Each structure stands twice: as structure tokens, then as C-alpha cells.
Amino acid sequence: MSAAGISPYVLGAVLAMAAVTIACRATPFVFFMKRRPPEVVDYLQKYIPPMIMTVLVLGSYKTTSFAMPRDWVPGIAAGLAVAGLHLWKRNTLLSIFGGTALYMVLIRIM
């Protein structure tokens, strides 16, 4: 397909995706632009971030297979290394580089 010859279909699909995505992200801000959020939103604002981070961490492992050690050991070991490093040194970059390096080594040697 040439650069100039993109189909109206593809263009329309991408526009629709952009519109839906921005709508999802903007909904709460638009909804509460004029009205005060109910008190329960104050409560949720505090506890949603830790819950979402928990879901995102667990979700990162959602397709992990436990059939063979090489399927799950690199991800789990590197994940524990990240948490351990971070609890110990609390240096974000060290935790992330260290864990990622360990992961990249493990998936190659296992």
C-alpha cells in the first residue's frame, strides 16, 4: 500500500479508536466539571491507585504458563528481585534495571 493510498476504512477506524479512547479518558473530568463529586469519590481517590497498581502487577502475569519452570521462573524471580531491590535500596532505576537485566538473562539461559 502506498503512503498516499490509505483507505477511508482504515482512516475511519483509526479516527473511531482515537475518539473512543479520548472519551474513556475524559469522561470523569467532563462529568464532574460542574458538579461536586460525591463523598464516596474522595474515598475512592485514595484507594483506587493502590488497587489499580495491584491489578496491573498481577495482570502483567496473566498469560504466564506454569507448565515448565522456564515459563514462569524468569518472570516471577525477576519480579521478586525488583520488589526486593526496591524495598532494600528504594532506587527506582536500580530496581527496574536490575530486575529487567535478570529477566533478560534468565529467559536466555533457562
Partner 1 sequence: MDRDIGSSAFGPAFHASIPVLLGYITIGLAFGLLLVKSGQPWWLAVVMSAFVYAGAAQFMAVGLLSAGTSIAEIAVLTFVINARHMVYGLSLLGRFSVCKRFKAYLVFALTDETYGILTTVNPPKGVDKESFYATVSALDQSYWIIGSTLGALIGGVLPFDTKGIDFALTALFIVLLVEQIRVIQRPEPYVVATIATAIALVLVGPANLLIVAILIAIAGILPFRKALA
CA distances from residue 103 to 5, 21, 43 in whole angstroms, order as listed: 42, 32, 37
List the x/- string, 21-50, binding to partner 1 by CB under 8 A: xx-xxxxxx--x----x--xxxxxxxxxxx
Nearest partner of 54 among 74, 83, 75, judged by Cα: 83
3 state SS of 21 = helix
Residue 79 is a binding residue for partner 1 (CB under 8 A): yes
Contact residues toward partner 1 (CB under 8 A) are 1-3, 6, 9-10, 12-14, 16-22, 24-29, 32, 37, 40-63, 74-75, 78-79, 82-83, 86-87, 92-93, 95-96, 99-100, 103-104, 107-108
